[in-house]
Amino acid sequence: MNPPSRWDDAMRRALAEARAALAADDVPVGAVVLDETGTVIGTGHNTREADADPTGHAEVVALRAAATARGEWRLTGCTLVVTLEPCTMCAGALVLARVDRLVFGAYDDKLGAVGSLWDVVRDRRLNHRPEVVAGVLAGESSALLDSFFARHRSEHREVR
């Protein structure tokens, strides 16, 4: 077991957001954006199913909320905390938003763009590269995802 991290409380908040996605029958991914003082200024969870929006990823929803709260698109000084390693779209969005730090829970071996398949956020060709903290409460994040996909696989088999 990993020792407690300074990011555990924020990740628990992101996990609560992930459970909101689960309640809406969407992939349980949640995110929060913290400002320089550690105050939550944006939250989000997957809304792809509810909004019929392919960009309705937790990170994008949380970044939009944080930008609205700040009144600007630059999120310099902020930390994005998300339960799952971001995909290429979300990794690009956090780079473009100038987020200083990314904290994530579980790695995503199928779509991850922060070390698993690609490493968008640390690409030296980009003008902004956030700090990355990986694996915070990864077991809790993975458990939510595993149970969601196991249930969906089971339901899909029953339909056939």
Binding site feature residues:
57, 87, 90
- DSSP class of residue 144 equals H
Catalytic residue among 59, 72, 140, 155: 59
d(CA 114, CA 5): 20
Q: How many CB atoms lie under 10 A from the CB of residue 126?
A: 12
Residue 85 is among the residues annotated as catalytic for this protein: no
Q: Which of 138, 131, 128, 151 is nearest to 108 (CA)?
A: 138
Task: State the residue for tokens 């339901």.
Answer: 155
Q: How many CB atoms lie under 10 A from the CB of residue 107?
A: 18
**Residue positions forming the annotated binding site for Zn(2+):** 57, 87, 90
Residues catalogued as catalytic: 59
